[in-house]
Amino acid sequence: MKNIIVAPSILSADFANLERDIKKIEHAGADWVHVDVMDGRFVPNITIGAPVVKSIRKTTKMPFDVHLMIIEPIKYVEDFAKAGSDFITIHAEACEDNLDETIDLIKNFGIKAGVSVKPNTPVEVIKKVLHKIDLVLIMTVEPGFGGQSFIRECLPKISEVRELLEKENLNHIYIEIDGGINAETAKLATSAGANALVAGNYIYSAEDIPKAIEALR
């Protein structure tokens, strides 16, 4: 799986013009739409819920990569599955008691399941569920706000996950990186083993969005 997936985050889009901005990245060559869902509790910010996801689902056929930065995500999996998610990623830190159960629920809806870890969370916490997921999302900023700088100390974690996947013959699983991604940090992340990149400000503030997306690959 050598091709690099680029998933622009609509957190950096104009929320009054989401359809326009989703079409913009689609025409520019993006692969997925990354949808950041925040509840103001797991992270110190609030964004959108399932009704908005359902509405923007009509605007594109690109896969929706939905990142739930919320507490008790098991309560909301059904809502986001029915809203049109293709991937639902939950945080290991939000599912300490029911990580397996939450992943199983996502899969039961026919949705691809991802698990995310914050910068200070060790890879150890997701080892036991690797065999049942489709994506590992490694945060390279503290989740909650866009526009932060890439934490380079997370690079060994990317390499560790890549080595784990190769050892377990699980190379079909995406390693996605979210936080501070630009043309420079994308190269660091992919060299360490990542093959999916989330970028927000870097893409949406670019004068030439197709060129910005291509630079990440």
Q: What value does the mean pLDDT of the chain take?
A: 96
CATH of the domain at 47: 3.20.20.70
CA of residue 24 relative to chain centroid, distance: 19
The structural domain count of the chain equals 1
Q: Of 36, 39, 65, 134, which one is the catalytic site residue?
A: 36
Active site residue 36: yes
Alpha helices in the chain (DSSP H): 18-27, 50-57, 77-82, 99-108, 155-167, 183-192, 201-204, 209-216
Is the confidence at residue 145, as pLDDT, over 90?
Answer: no
At a CB cut-off of 8 Å and minimum separation 6, what does 41 contact?
Answer: 70, 71
Q: Of 21, 39, 65, 178, which one is the catalytic site residue?
A: 178
Active site residue 104: no
Residue 143 pLDDT class (50, 70, 90 cuts): confident
Is the confidence at residue 2, as pLDDT, over 60?
Answer: no
**Residue range of the domain that includes 205:** 5-216
Q: Check residue 63 and give left, alpha or beta (phi > 0: left; psi -120 to 50: alpha).
A: beta
Instruction: Please write the tens of the pLDDT for every residue from 157-204.
Output: 999 999 999 999 999 999 999 999 999 999 999 999 999 999 999 999
Fill in the amino acid letter for 154: C
